[in-house]
Chain A
Amino acid sequence: MTYLQAISDAMREEMRADERVFVMGEDIGTFGGAFKVTDGFIDEFGPLRVMDTPLAESGIVGTAIGAAVEGMRPIAEMQFSDFISCGFDQLVNVAGKMYYRQGLSVNITVRLPSGGGFSGGPFHSQNPEAWFMHSPGLKVVAPSTAEDAKGLLISAVRDPNPVVYMEHKHLYRRVKGDVDGGTYETPFTARLAREGEDLVVITYGAMVHTALEATEDLDGASVEVLDLRSLVPLDEEAILASVRKCSKVVIVDEANQTCAAGAQVAALIAERGWEDLDGPVVRVATPDVPIPFSPPLEQAVLPQVDDVREACRELLEY
């Protein structure tokens, strides 16, 4: 099953299991969604549970919030994660603060197809997870495998808080894996993608695959890869455990470098992992520029396998 099919499967199974769950978004009904994630849903569940919406992200998120307060469990799809900026106020100020202000649970899941690598240009390639990490009241998860794509989405739907679900477009059809049938939950904790001892690469989303490829055969070094899976809550103990074991850390973000999720990880390590460090914390991330449309330029700004390999090699030799 592909990563994309796992997302579809999670929603389909959860909608079958729980009639409070419904999906809404732009062109997700008859058309089946821009990426065909909800292909066929309207035939099985009907237009009341597979709602086509106007092109108004603010309205989509706001409607979802209202439904959630009334006891429903909406899953709102943004066609591209970049477009969530139009629904920012509803998500950050209304959904994120509702429980704090009024004690009301906003059980919504907002799916954000994110990331670049396919010449989508500056409006269709961003990784905006850090916007929401910085906003209290929201949870943020980002699966890297088909199995976690399904389990994390089901956990997100069942979580009483608003959850921002980052699904990486570049992984949709490129990542495949065995996925259990029915429904299961994946906890909002980190996952060891590979165990190692000499150095740990901490990352999430599509960069997990970049990190695994880059360090598969690195001059015989034993390199650990930690897949964060959840950015809020951040699995601090798992991060510190890897730092304790390996003492050398490379953090990879596909997002723009400044204040990215990896910046928070680096700060955590500086504060609580200091005595375990045997070298500087090294970051590999996209520079603070828009994602270019031109394929060679896009390759030049997004972290590539060679960039990660070079960073690891440098740090191992330190």
Chain B
Amino acid sequence: MPQMGVSVAEGTVVEWRKQPGDWIEADEIIAAISTDKIDTDVEAPATGRVQELIVDVGETVEVGTVLARIATDARPGEAHVSEGQSSAGGTSEAAAAMESSGEAGELKGDTTVREEKAPARGPRRYSPVVMRIAAEHDVDLEQVEGTGRGGRVRKQDVLAYIEQGGGEEPPMHIESPYRPDEPAAAKTRKPHFDAPAAEPGPAPEPAPAAAGSAPLSRMRQAIGARMLQSLQTAATCTTIVEADLIRIEAARATSGFTYLPYIARATVEVLREYPALNATLQDDTVTTYDGVHLGIAVSLGEGGLIVPVIRDAQELSVEGLAKRIKDLAQRARGNALTPDEVRGGSFTITNPGSAGSIMATPVINQPQVAILDTEAVVKRPVVITDELGNDSIAIRPMTYLCMSWDHRALDGVAAAQFLNALRKKLESWPTS
């Protein structure tokens, strides 16, 4: 079990991609594993023939445990161990390889593998812009017909495919879907953070009946353990302020970004003024940080939730944050984050407002001391006061900024001051 980043202690084998007797090249993927941080692939450390799979699928072992053996002195032309001999057992790995090499010298085994590897047509290669557009719109490029040279997929091909309705816009936007008067028959959005909902039955049953049961996924188990541990460790309190985002909305009108990068940028700036919240608490020791390593919770739909970290977020502009958030979210959904990208945060923002909720009490991401929850932006009538002191009622895009914080590390006044500074920053955002 390889060391995947410093904080991972154990991992579970999810799938073996090779079986004993298969030939494997160095860096070829041999297995898929899952850790409490991340799902990833394991590459073979050496070229050879897979000798033995030691850890079964579903088994959890510590980092450093031997997962499988590869006979590195085998040659691709040799027969499979399984073909060469019945599993005698007790043979040492070197001996097994030697014996098989002695028994069969023809190319039988290997040619089969090679043929399987080479598909009828070569793998399609895509230009950078085509891959970027495909990633942004969740397009499976294999479905796109290419009109370029040799059937190459060109930019206009993937754009035309999207135009016709192919692909899907990923749920990145936190624009409020909150519709208080929506008729009951309207389509319901699936909340991002819920466990898989049961399929509605065709007719109402007289008594509650289970619609199905399944074991918790490894991801759900990990999330559950961490959330429970946080609630049992921290003295969690939640403070809420209300902010008027009309100036952010004006800025968004020109940039086209979601609210999130603006709130992230403002949070980072205010955290620099209130380092008590940009901190971790471990064993009676509070550590505050100069830089802000900003965690952004990314929903993986039914798969769960992951919190990639933007290191030194204070060095990024709104544009830079928008780009980074998008990149991390895409890679999170593509299972392409590295373990070190999901650790080491000093503050976290979670953003379930896209599902329509207007208020929540988030659970602190340990060992951090606070987590900010951004909720749906909703038009509300509010009283505003002009510079002469006259009050009037206006319709403004309002949101609640909900922050859970650890009473062991700080007091309510500090939390309120921080949130108020954040509110002021958002409400005085420069419009240019």
Interface residues on A, range: under 10
Q: Is B31 an interface residue (CB 8 A)?
A: no
CB 8 Å contact bits of A289-318 with B (1 = contact, 0 = none): 000000000000000000000000000011
Closest B residue by C-beta to A317? B149
Q: Is A256 an interface residue (CB 8 A)?
A: no
Closest A residue by C-beta to B152? A318
Q: Is A59 an interface residue (CB 8 A)?
A: no
Q: How far is the CB of A38 from chain B (nearest CB, A)?
A: 46
What is the bound-complex CA distance between A318 and B152, given in angstroms?
Answer: 8
Q: Is B127 an interface residue (CB 8 A)?
A: yes
CB 8 Å contact bits of A267-289 with B (1 = contact, 0 = none): 00000001111110000000000
Q: Is B277 an interface residue (CB 8 A)?
A: no
Interface residues on B, range: 10 to 19
User: Which residues of A lie under 8 Å from residue B154 when comparing CB positions?
Assistant: 278, 318
Docked-complex contact A276 and B128, CB < 8 angstroms: yes
> Could you list which residues of chain A lie within 8 angstroms of chain B, going by C-beta atoms?
247, 274-279, 317-318
Docked-complex contact B148 and A275, CB < 8 angstroms: no
What is the bound-complex CA distance between A278 and B130, given in angstroms?
Answer: 7
Closest B residue by C-beta to A248? B155
**Residues 147-206 of B contacting A (Cβ, < 8 Å):** 148-149, 152, 154-155
* In the complex, number of A-B residue pairs with CB atoms less than 8 Å apart: 26
A-B contact pairs, 8 of them (CB 8 A): A275-B132, A276-B129, A277-B127, A277-B129, A278-B127, A278-B130, A317-B149, A318-B154
User: Which residues of A lie under 8 Å from residue B128 when comparing CB positions?
Assistant: 274-278
Q: How far is the CB of B106 from chain A (nearest CB, A)?
A: 44
Docked-complex contact A317 and B127, CB < 8 angstroms: no
Q: How far is the CB of B384 from chain A (nearest CB, A)?
A: 38
What is the bound-complex CA distance between A164 and B127, given in angstroms?
Answer: 38
User: Which residues of B lie under 8 Å from residue A317 when comparing CB positions?
Assistant: 148-149
Given contacts A278-B155, A317-B149, 7 further A-B contacts (CB under 8 A): A247-B127, A275-B129, A275-B132, A276-B128, A276-B129, A277-B128, A317-B148
The binding surface of chain B is classed by DSSP as helix
**Residues 359-382 of B contacting A (Cβ, < 8 Å):** none
User: Which residues of A lie under 8 Å from residue B132 when comparing CB positions?
Assistant: 275-276
When A278-B154, A278-B155 are in contact, do A318 and B149 touch as well, CB less than 8 Å?
Answer: yes
What is the bound-complex CA distance between A48 and B379, given in angstroms?
Answer: 73
**Residues 87-145 of B contacting A (Cβ, < 8 Å):** 127-130, 132
The binding surface of chain A is classed by DSSP as loop
Q: How far is the CB of A243 from chain B (nearest CB, A)?
A: 9
> Could you list which residues of chain B lie within 8 angstroms of chain A, going by C-beta atoms?
127-130, 132, 148-149, 152, 154-155
Docked-complex contact B155 and A247, CB < 8 angstroms: yes
Q: How far is the CB of B4 from chain A (nearest CB, A)?
A: 28
> 10 closest Cβ contacts across the A-B interface?
A278-B155, A278-B127, A275-B132, A278-B129, A275-B128, A247-B129, A247-B155, A276-B129, A274-B128, A277-B128
Docked-complex contact A318 and B148, CB < 8 angstroms: yes
User: Which residues of B lie under 8 Å from residue A276 when comparing CB positions?
Assistant: 128-129, 132
Closest B residue by C-beta to A314? B149
What is the bound-complex CA distance between A230 and B245, given in angstroms?
Answer: 42
What is the bound-complex CA distance between A276 and B130, given in angstroms?
Answer: 8
What is the bound-complex CA distance between A317 and B149, given in angstroms?
Answer: 6
What is the bound-complex CA distance between A279 and B128, given in angstroms?
Answer: 8
Q: How far is the CB of B160 from chain A (nearest CB, A)?
A: 13
What is the bound-complex CA distance between A81 and B158, given in angstroms?
Answer: 48
Q: How far is the CB of B32 from chain A (nearest CB, A)?
A: 28
Q: How far is the CB of B26 from chain A (nearest CB, A)?
A: 28
User: Which residues of B lie under 8 Å from residue A275 when comparing CB positions?
Assistant: 128-129, 132
What is the bound-complex CA distance between A196 and B41, given in angstroms?
Answer: 44
What is the bound-complex CA distance between A277 and B155, given in angstroms?
Answer: 9
Closest A residue by C-beta to B147? A317
Q: How far is the CB of A36 from chain B (nearest CB, A)?
A: 49
User: Which residues of B lie under 8 Å from residue A277 when comparing CB positions?
Assistant: 127-129
Closest A residue by C-beta to B153? A278
User: Which residues of A lie under 8 Å from residue B148 when comparing CB positions?
Assistant: 317-318
What is the bound-complex CA distance between A311 and B154, given in angstroms?
Answer: 17
User: Which residues of A lie under 8 Å from residue B155 when comparing CB positions?
Assistant: 247, 278
What is the bound-complex CA distance between A278 and B149, given in angstroms?
Answer: 12
What is the bound-complex CA distance between A278 and B128, given in angstroms?
Answer: 6
Q: How far is the CB of B330 from chain A (nearest CB, A)?
A: 12
What is the bound-complex CA distance between A34 and B148, given in angstroms?
Answer: 51
Closest A residue by C-beta to B130? A278
User: Which residues of B lie under 8 Å from residue A247 when comparing CB positions?
Assistant: 127, 129, 155
Of B129, B130, B152, the most chain A CB neighbours within 10 A belong to B129
